């Protein structure tokens, strides 16, 4: 089970903007995303997982890759790396870099 922290104010603000795009602009532009999940769904998940700064940057980079000469296919939002250390139940072997993961 993956735990995600509640997004902050700026992350929520960006999520509202992306959701507005999905509802009002995307139907007129058409389905042209080369990746799965779509770029807007990727952005929403990145904002929820990583917050406004890191998630927004990840979403921006993904949108910049979405062009006819770019890649395509399945491209999920990377996690924080906590999944790698779930096997150790005592938590002593946990890396200090991963101590902020919840």
Please indicate, yes or no, if residue 75 is contained in any of the structural domains.
no
Please indicate, yes or no, if residue 41 is contained in any of the structural domains.
yes
Please indicate, yes or no, if residue 9 is contained in any of the structural domains.
no
Please indicate, yes or no, if residue 21 is contained in any of the structural domains.
no
Q: Which domain holds residue 46?
A: 31-68
Please indicate, yes or no, if residue 56 is contained in any of the structural domains.
yes
State the pTM of this model. 0.71
Please indicate, yes or no, if residue 86 is contained in any of the structural domains.
no
**Amino acid 88: pLDDT:** 44
**Amino acid 100: pLDDT:** 44
Phi, psi angles (nearest 5°) of residue 35: -110, 160
Chunked into runs of 10 residues, the chain (102 residues) has average pLDDT values of 71 96 89 86 95 96 88 88 50 43 46
The total number of structural domains that make up the chain: 1
């Amino acid at each position: 089970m993956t735990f995600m922290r509640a997004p902050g104010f700026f992350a929520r603000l960006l999520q509202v903007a992306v959701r507005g795009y999905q509802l009002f602009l995307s139907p007129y532009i058409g389905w042209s995303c080369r990746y799965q999940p779509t770029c807007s769904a990727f952005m929403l998940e990145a904002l929820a997982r990583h917050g406004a700064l890191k998630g927004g940057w990840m979403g921006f980079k993904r949108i910049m890759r979405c062009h006819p000469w770019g890649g395509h296919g399945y491209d999920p939002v990377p996690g924080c790396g906590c999944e790698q250390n779930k096997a150790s139940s005592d938590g002593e072997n946990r890396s200090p870099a991963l101590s902020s993961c919840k």
